Chain A
């Protein structure tokens, strides 16, 4: 019981202190850009009504989901192909390294040329930024499949889809998940940026509107919402990761216990 309490104190103490400091330090603030935390929190429920959540947050999240899912599928599929054949890999490597090195936000103007400023543009931007970490990590993971494991599978006659699912993708999955984690933060960045460029709804659009209209407390609530969204998505990701990679973390932990 005391241990649970102690943990609770550890988890909550610093955030509580920080919020209190912010509250007290900003309480009498007359600076336009740093409104009192009280004003921000009071503005929060007024700004983020159910209707606005539906009109702005939902489209953003849907675009992110669409682009991210597309990038995951394409990245894993292409990565598996490229990783499985040594020569294909040698041919593609320099080009892939270059494409990965292009900072994803500069794709926004390019894709705007092709896809206009609609949802297609945003989903494409998100997908084309997220695909590289997934793709390259999959290539690495597939390449590093334990040769003994691969040989064993072969001698047991495990081929085709079963081999792909149970041997190749399984052993590459820690790498693939690492790529997906990198892709998630890039995806959120691109979601916001594509909406800041050209949109009529979405989180990025709304926050920029507030900033241009000098609705500073509203803008602050928008920043908080973006922060919360990033936090929630990362928690969801961790939960999924723990489920999918449970076997792997267990393996690592037992390997560490008995060196």
Chain B
């Protein structure tokens, strides 16, 4: 069954690539706008041999990883503190609900003024956007703690720290993982956006340069790279999630009784 699915998927991918080759060749769209697959692949091969491409990839990944790490740590710490300290959740709810939907791209003009094209302006956008993803999930996760388990821990005399470590954290971890996975995708989007719009070094900037200089196949090649990067991040995040939650019911599956 799995083999059939893989074969069908491969066929779909092949059909997609063939379509990309045929449509411009048949003149259905102008080749200048939409180059055939083979030319994009050629441009991609050229890019891979170019050291500028690799340093841009490195810049993008640095912005992504650093931003995601900061946002995750901050989200987890703030989330746990807010939900453990009495009343803090009620007090902060309205502020969180207000700040969360503010689109992080609104901060682009500010980032440009404050930091120019430095890494810090990328980080400002990435951290703002991904912080909420993690925070909200942590809050949901902590809410999910079984009151009986919590009461039991209390009556056994576990302190606050021990309860956070042994009761709250294992319950919240699946939610935290979901939050980090969502944040990883959002962080990539914002990192590339910041490079594209602000001109901070990275893949986004290369795409902008390729577009401005009418290098259409190169532009498509770079977009394919960003797609592959996104795919890799998704797959990676799912793998980490499965590893970290190997003990958890949702991954382990119910034990057959």
Kindly list chain A residues whose C-beta atoms are within 8 Å of the C-beta of B98: 15, 231
A196-217 CB mask vs B (1 if < 8 Å, else 0) is: 1100000010011011000010
3 smallest CB-CB distances across A and B, nearest first, come from: A101-B230, A211-B109, A91-B12
Taking CB as reference atom, which chain A residue is nearest B10? Answer: A94
Interface residues of B in 215-249 (CB under 8 A from A): 216, 219-220, 222-223, 226-231, 233-234
Contact, CB under 8 Å: A223 / B109:
yes
Kindly list chain B residues whose C-beta atoms are within 8 Å of the C-beta of A222: 106, 109
Binding site for A on B (CB under 8 A): 4-5, 8-13, 15-16, 29, 33-34, 87, 90-95, 97-98, 100-110, 112-114, 185, 188-189, 192-193, 196-197, 204, 207-208, 210-211, 216, 219-220, 222-223, 226-231, 233-234
* Interface-facing stretch out of A40-48, A105-113, A141-149: A105-113
Is residue A151 within 8 Å, beta carbon to beta carbon, of the partner chain? Answer: no
A11 to B96, CA, bound (A): 11
Is residue A20 within 8 Å, beta carbon to beta carbon, of the partner chain? Answer: no
Among A33, A104, A197, point to the contact of B114 (Cβ < 8 A). Answer: A33
Give 30 pairs: A residue, B residue, CB < 8 Å, sorted on A: A10-B93, A10-B94, A11-B94, A15-B95, A87-B8, A91-B12, A92-B12, A94-B10, A95-B12, A98-B227, A98-B231, A103-B226, A103-B230, A106-B196, A106-B226, A109-B219, A110-B220, A113-B33, A113-B216, A114-B29, A185-B103, A193-B105, A196-B197, A197-B197, A207-B106, A219-B109, A226-B103, A226-B105, A230-B103, A234-B100
Contact, CB under 8 Å: B231 / A112:
no
The verdict on A102 contacting B230 (CB below 8 Å), with A110-B220, A196-B108 known, is yes
Kindly list chain B residues whose C-beta atoms are within 8 Å of the C-beta of A240: none
Contact, CB under 8 Å: A110 / B219:
yes
A204 to B222, CA, bound (A): 25
The verdict on A192 contacting B226 (CB below 8 Å), with A14-B91, A15-B94, A216-B113 known, is no
Kindly list chain A residues whose C-beta atoms are within 8 Å of the C-beta of B223: 102, 106-107, 110
Kindly list chain A residues whose C-beta atoms are within 8 Å of the C-beta of B8: 87, 90-91
Contact, CB under 8 Å: B103 / A106:
no
The verdict on A105 contacting B106 (CB below 8 Å), with A12-B94, A14-B95, A99-B227 known, is no
Q: Which of A103, A186, A226 has the most CB of B within 10 A?
A: A103
Q: What is the distance, in angstroms, from A106's C-beta to the closest C-beta of chain B?
A: 5
Taking CB as reference atom, which chain B residue is nearest A105? Answer: B193
The verdict on A14 contacting B94 (CB below 8 Å), with A94-B12, A99-B227 known, is yes
Kindly list chain B residues whose C-beta atoms are within 8 Å of the C-beta of A37: none
16 new A-B pairs (CB below 8 Å) besides A91-B8, A91-B11, A114-B29?
A11-B93, A15-B94, A92-B12, A98-B227, A101-B231, A101-B234, A106-B207, A106-B223, A192-B105, A192-B106, A193-B105, A193-B193, A211-B113, A226-B105, A231-B98, A234-B97
A95 to B210, CA, bound (A): 25
Interface residues of A in 60-107 (CB under 8 A from B): 87, 90-95, 97-107
Kindly list chain B residues whose C-beta atoms are within 8 Å of the C-beta of A197: 197
The verdict on A188 contacting B103 (CB below 8 Å), with A91-B9, A97-B234, A113-B33 known, is yes
